[in-house]
Amino acid sequence: MASLDVESLTLDGKNKTTVLCSRCPSKILCPQVGTYVVKEFSLPSMHHKTEGETDTAEDVKDYWQVNDMYHFENIGFSKTIDDRKYLICADCEIGPVGWHDLNTKMNYLALSRVKHTDV
Ligand SMILES: [Zn+2]
């Protein structure tokens, strides 16, 4: 996976551009809605929802933190696992593109799993 040029994607610590699904034209986040955070998290590999259980994961650390799920333009949720739900594309259901923490209600969208416009 190509390394991310975080600097070109952020403006004042937030997402500079519109965030889209990596596979379909679905719009996930408007500019300046997500806050860039670094978190160590093992995110299951991307797969289609209907393919069943994930068996592999990768360490992903660059995220857009979104404080309220209603701040997303479009987002879907997978089933609950432990205290989180994984975020998937609302239209094509590719994912996980991040996760929702059921305790804190915070959402984390992986920069490497989405597409950014104008970059
Ligand atoms: Zn999609």
Instruction: Tell me the CATH number at 102.
Output: 2.170.150.10
Q: What residues make up the domain containing 67? A: 6-44+59-117
- Number of folded domains in the chain? 1
CA 55 to centroid of ligand 1, rounded, Å: 22
Give burial (CB, 10 Å; 0-12/13-18/19+) of 33.
buried
Residue 52 counted as domain residue:
no
Residue 51 counted as domain residue:
no
Mean pLDDT of the chain: 91
CA 92 to centroid of ligand 1, rounded, Å: 4
Residue 1 counted as domain residue:
no
Of 99, 117, 118, which is closest to residue 26 (Cα–Cα)? 117
CA 22 to centroid of ligand 1, rounded, Å: 7
CA 87 to centroid of ligand 1, rounded, Å: 11
Cβ pair 94, 48 in contact under 8 A: yes
- Read off the pLDDT of residues 51-66 as tens digits, 9 standing for 90 and up: 555 568 999 999 999 9
Residue 102 counted as domain residue:
yes
Residue 104 counted as domain residue:
yes
- Read off the pLDDT of residues 28-39 as tens digits, 9 standing for 90 and up: 999 999 999 999
- Read off the pLDDT of residues 76-101 as tens digits, 9 standing for 90 and up: 999 899 999 999 999 999 999 999 99
CA 26 to centroid of ligand 1, rounded, Å: 5
CA 47 to centroid of ligand 1, rounded, Å: 12
